[in-house]
Every structure is written in C-alpha cells, then in structure tokens.
Amino acid sequence: MILTSLDHVAENQKAQVIKIHGGWGIRGRLNQMGIHPGDIVTVLRVGALGGPIIIEVHGFQVALGRGIASRILVEIAE
Amino acid sequence: MKVALVGQPNCGKSTLFNLIAGYKAITSNFPGTTVKYTETKTHIYGHTCTCIDLPGTYSLSSMEPAELEARKHLLSGEVDVVINVADASLLCRSLELTLQLLELEIPMVLCLNMMDEAQRKGIQVDPGKLSAILGIPVVSAIATTGKGIQNLFVEALKAGEEKKRGNVQKFSKDIEEVIYSLAILLASEKRVEEKVPQRFLAIKLLEKDFSLVDGINPGGDLRGKIQFFQNKLEEIHGYPSDEVISAERHALAMNLSEKVSTVIHPPERDLRMVIDHWVTHKVFGYVILVLVFYGFFNLIFGIGGYIEKPLLQIFEDLSERLRDIYEPGSLFLFLAVGILQGIAGGIAIVLPYLVPFLIGLSLLEDVGYLPRVAFLMDVFMHRIGLHGKSIIPFILGYGCSVPAVMATRILEFPQHRFIVAILATMIPCAARITIIFALVAFLIGPNAALSIFALNILVVAVFGKILSLFLPDASLGLILEIPSYQPPRWGSLLQKSWYRIREFIVIAWPILIAGSAFLALLEYAGVERYFSWFLSPLTWVLGLPASVGTTLVFGLLRKELSLIMLTQALGTTQVLTVMTKTQVMVFAVFVTFYIPCLATIAALWREIGKKGALLTILFTFFVAIFLALATRIFFGIFFGG
C-alpha cells in the first residue's frame, strides 16, 4: 500500500481515494463528479507537459487538472 | 401545466426536449451546453402544457450559474411536475440528483434514458422496483429513437394532476436527527421563504450552502446556531459536514442502484475505447487534433470554393443583363442591381461556406470530440493564464459569438468570464470565417486564409496572457466530465445544422438584401460618399478604397454584411479588379478583429455589463487597426501594392 496524491498515479493504475484536501468548492465539485473518500478510481490518461489527467470513476470518465489531482490523497493498491 | 425537464449534463435532456418541441434547444455531446433554459408549449392528449428544458446540473448546489438557474426555477413554485431525466448507464450518479429532487416535494417522474447504452455496458435496470422504492413513476426510454417518450409524458401529466409526491429517502439515523433538529430551528426562525421545503433547506445548510437564506451574517446569531449543527456532524464523522452529507447521499444512491440493477455481462470493450486511446494520447492526440482541424478547414474550403465560382459567374451575368436592359443611372437599375447583389451574396458567397462549416461543427459536437479537445488544450490554456474550460467558449466562438459569450457562464469566477468573453468575441464566427474563405482563400489562396486563423489564435493568446496578468487565475483547475462517444445520428445532426443555418436565412439574409438595396439607394442619391468621407481617415490609414468605409458600418449589424456590401460598394463581384491582394488581406484582417456585431454586444452587455461591452468595442477596434496596419506594411513589403 502506497499513500500518494492522485497526480502521482501512473496510467492504468487503480487507487482508492483517502482524503480530499481543499475547501468547500473543490470538495463539492469533486463530490458531484462522484469522487468521495473510499471510492476506487482508475487513471486512464496522464496528459503531456503537466496537462490534466483522465480518470475513470463509477463507470464514467472525468478530466482533472494536475493541481486538483495533487489535492486528492489516494492509496495505490498493489 | 408546467413541466420541467431536469437532469445531469449530457443525460439527453435536450434531445428529449427537441423530440416534443420540434427543434428548439441546441444539443451536443458536451457537458453544459444548455446555459439558458428553453421553453415551449406542447399538446399532449388534449392538455396544453409548458415544457422547460433546464440547464443540466450534477446537483442542486449553488456552485455554478447554470445550477443556480435550474434551482431557482424549481423553487419558484411555478413548476407543476418535474421530469427527472437520468442516464440509466450511469444510474448511481444520476440518482444522487434524483434524491435531491425528491426533497423539493414537487410531483415527479423519473425517466430512465439511454437504456440502450446501459445494456451495452451490461447493466439491466428494473424500473418497477425503482418506482416502488422512490414512490414515483419510473419510465424507461431511449430519447434518441423516441422510444418510451409518449408514455413518459402521459405519466408526467398524471403525476402533475394527482400532485403525488415521492418518498424522500432517509439518511443514517444520526444524520437524520441533526437534519430534523435544524429543520425545526429554521421553522421557528421564520426567516425562510415559504416555498423552500424545510428539510431541503436544512440539508443545504449542512452542506454549507448559504445561498438560499438571506440575512445570515457571518458571526450572526442564526449563523452560529447553524454552525453548531454542522460541527455536530463533523464531530461524529471526523470530516466536514458538507462531505458527510454528500458521502451519505452517494452511499444511498449506490445502495439504491445496486438494489434495482443487475449486471448481466461485463462491459463490452468496444471500438470507442480504442479510439479514445489514440485521441487522448500524449503525442498522437495532438497530431489527430491538428489533422482534424486541418481536414475540416480544407473540406469547407474545397466545397465552398467549388460552389462559389460558378454561382458568382451566374449572378455577374445576370447583373450585366440588367445593365443592358435598363437605362444607365436610373433608380430602377440601381435598386435591381442592389437587390440582386444582396441575393447573390447569400447564395453564392455565404451559404457555400456556411453550410459545410455548420454541419462539420455539429458533427464534431455530437460525436463528443470537443471535450477531448478541452482535455488536450488545457495545458496550453493555462500557459496563457486562462482556465482550461475557456477553450469551450472559444470553440463555440467559431460558430457564433453570441453563444460563445453566453458559454462563459461555465467559468466560476467573474474576472475570468470577463476576460474570456472579450477574447471570445475576437474568434472569427461563422460569418467572419465565410469572409476569410470567400475573400482571402478564394482570391489569394488557402495559405493566406490559414495565416489569418493562425494570427487570430496568436493574438488571442497574447492578449489572454496580458489580461490575465491583471486579473490572475484563482480558479480550481479543470474538472470536466468526458462523455463517451456517440455515433452521429444524421437526422438530428442535419436538424441542428438547419436550425443554425435558418438563423442566417431568416434573419440575416433579408437584412443583407435590404441593406444592399439601401446602399444602392444611397449611391443613387449620392449620399454614400458622405459616409465614406466620414470614415475616410480610417480607410486612408488602412490604405483601402474609400467606398469600403460604408461596408464596415454595415458589418456592425451583421458581419456577413461587410462582405456582401463590399461587392455592392465596389460595384462588382470580381473584387480583384478593383482591389489589390494586399487591400483584400488588410480588409479581411480588419473585419476579423474589429468591433463585434450588435447581437454580440447585447450578449456582452448582459453577461459582463455595460462597461465590459464598451471596453470590448474600444479594445477590438484598436486591436483591429493595429493588426490591419501591420498587415498592410508586411504585405506591402513582400508582395507590393
């Protein structure tokens, strides 16, 4: 088990959300998109040049800016 | 009876709406296309009802203007029945909105849309079971084929008449207790509008959303009491109360969706995944992006140029014949040629480019390519200091500046909306693209036209950078749903393109013809030269023929007018006989950048205020002069004339 932030997860790796760092706005918006502590996400794409990442959560895809991804603490399953 | 369509972005709400309303709402495979709501009157089994298509919202919070708009409407008390459109293939997430809608205590019907997509994913949903739990009718439907829609509206009317409300789904016991106590407190405070149900309000306050209650000052008495309840939840669960509620709602929705759906087979790994693998690739994604837009450009130019040439010849011959028949200098000849040139402008110059362009844009939209573009371009948008989502207004701007300005509502911060709205008006709209194609590409060559587009992107990037230095980006960064690809359905695609083309034919074209005739009259009366005289400082600086001045004034009404009036002002459709290539280029550059048309100015006024609109007028005017001058000098040096 490795604790890290979502922006450090490689393509095609699964991770479980542990905690979302950030205020009301960022939490609310991620929650709306179905991202909560405890959820399993799969990183599908890591954009070039520090661009956004695409993750799959609950069967749909969401693009997240690197800055946002860095605020999502996750645990990578071995 | 008033029926409101509510659903999450991209759940097929607008498609459904168009089915019953004829084509009135713009659909696309892009989250958040409907920023304004559309209304229509419709007849179902002898009942007249008003149907509104509300902007898609993931939840009933107040985080985005589109969400606020939808919520405000639902709480207004005017809605008799809600049709909650849910994407059956994303049932769990869709139900999170359903749960909140139930709390509004408005009669409701749940429409399980996209049942075909759910099946493809291997999910089977049981509408009867879901209906029993929620206490509302649940109708499965496929909006794209129209399946189940009639049944849906019959159920909706029935629900509206019976005024039957669904079962509010309860959270865990400890949370319910807090909600209950807070609701009692709110009821005793009487500071809340009657229409907002207490439970809904209490939950929103626990979600730290204060926008529903006026007069809760920070540090005030009531605020303190509310905070007491928020803290209580936080103490029990160990994280912020808004997250407690949302996690609880999520768990509830998940539980529900598991109860009513069965997985029949694992999702098929289809072609779409393979395509997406390449389209979002680090390197090939960008190669594909360039190829798509380059191909798109060449296709429009190819089709348009092929049609424009022979058509122009026909109209040129016609006006020659008019000149032979009627006495030179007569009023009738002036008028006839003026009207003919207005008609010619529409048929021969505008439509050959506008039609393929709008069909192409609709295709890219429907297939779902645009969110991928937003993903790929996000990093570059950030380099110029803008939010990644800004790309959406920009792309829409290539169609028409008005929806582009309106789409800036998807940006969270006012200062952002301000910058992007101004920049979006500088993106050449379909009308200006037509001018670039019909004048520059047609007369000088495709590369010259491409260079105008490149210059435009460069200028927008530079000004984006400069403006964002004054108003820095404080937003969160990109959070955007990437919907799955949808195969284009030609029927709805053509309908949508027609909806947009009709705007030109019904509104713009008559103005073009009238304007052309009006200019001919001015010319006949000899007044036209006063216009030109008034604008001569401008045309002199830019090195353009003085008669071109009037066309720029007309361009403020409709951008297409600049082009069509040009042929009228010059007295010929063979522009190169009276203007040099440099002059054509300078004219096109100026028209591309200068003051937005009236409709856009009105949209700006609404979205970013009077000052913003005035600033845009001044700003774009000076930018246009500067760039046109630079073009004049550059072209003058290299190509002469």
Confidence category of residue B256, pLDDT binned at 50, 70, 90: very high
Residues of A in contact with B281 (CB under 8 A): 45
Q: What is the pLDDT of residues B529-576, one digit of tens each?
A: 787 888 888 889 888 888 888 888 878 877 877 887 787 777 777 788
Q: A20 lies in which domain range?
A: 2-76
Beta bridge partner(s), residue B110: B84, B138
Confidence category of residue B57, pLDDT binned at 50, 70, 90: confident
Integer Cα distance of A35 and A14 in angstroms:
14
pLDDT higher for B35 or B186?
B186
Predicted-complex ipTM score: 0.92
- Please check whether residue A59 touches B, CB under 8 A: yes
Structure tokens of B225?
Answer: 């009491």
- Of B162, B239, B379, nearest to A24 by C-alpha is B239
Integer Cα distance of B52 and B45 in angstroms:
18
* Test mutation, A24, A26, A32, A70, chain B, max B CBs within 10 A: A32
- Give the angle subtended at the CA of B184 by the CAs of B178 and B188, to the nearest 5°: 145
Residues of B in contact with A17 (CB under 8 A): none
Q: DSSP of B374-402, one letter per residue? A: HHHHHHHHHHTT--GGGHHHHHHHTT-HH
CB atoms within 10 A of CB B108: 26
- What is the arithmetic mean of pLDDT over B223-227? 83
- Of B425, B382, B369, B326, nearest to B624 by C-alpha is B425
User: Going from the N-terminus, what domains does chain B have, and what CATH number goes with each?
Assistant: 2-162 (3.40.50.300), 173-263 (1.10.287.1770), 284-473+492-639 (no CATH)
Residues of A in contact with B375 (CB under 8 A): 45, 47, 51-52, 54, 63
What is the domain-level CATH number for residue A15? Answer: 2.30.30.90
CB-facing half-sphere around the CA of A21: CA atoms within 13 A: 11
Ranges of beta strands (E only) in B58-160 are: 81-87, 108-113, 123-125, 138-140
Q: Which amino acid is at B334?
A: F
* Test mutation, A60, A62, A70, chain B, max B CBs within 10 A: A60
Q: What is the pLDDT of residues A17-69, one digit of tens each?
A: 998 888 888 888 888 888 888 889 999 999 888 889 999 998 889 999 888 89
| Residues with Cβ within 8 Å of residue B30, at least 6 apart in sequence | B10, B365, B368, B370, B371, B392, B483
Q: CB B90 to CB A52 under 8 A?
A: no
A-B C-beta contacts closer than 8 Å: 127
CB-facing half-sphere around the CA of B420: CA atoms within 13 A: 34
Integer Cα distance of B452 and B147 in angstroms:
47
Question: From B372, which residue of chain A is nearest by alpha-carbon distance?
Answer: A63
At B50, give phi and psi (nearest 5°).
-95, 130
- Of B128, B157, B193, B180, nearest to B48 by C-alpha is B157
Q: Which amino acid is at B327?
A: E
CA distance, residue A64 to nearest chain B CA (Å) = 5
Residues of B in contact with A55 (CB under 8 A): none
Reported as type and span, the H/E element at residue B419 is helix B414-426
Of B267-276, B435-444, B458-467, which gets the smallest average pLDDT?
B267-276
Residue B491 pLDDT:
79
Q: Which amino acid is at B624?
A: A
Q: What is the pLDDT of residues B61-116, one digit of tens each?
A: 877 777 777 888 888 888 899 999 999 988 998 999 999 999 998 999 999 998 88
> Based on the structure, what is the number of domains in chain A?
1
Q: CB A65 to CB B282 under 8 A?
A: no
At B220, give phi and psi (nearest 5°).
-70, 175
Residues of B in contact with A19 (CB under 8 A): 239
**What is each CA distance from B570 to B289, B549, B567, in whole angstroms?**
40, 11, 5
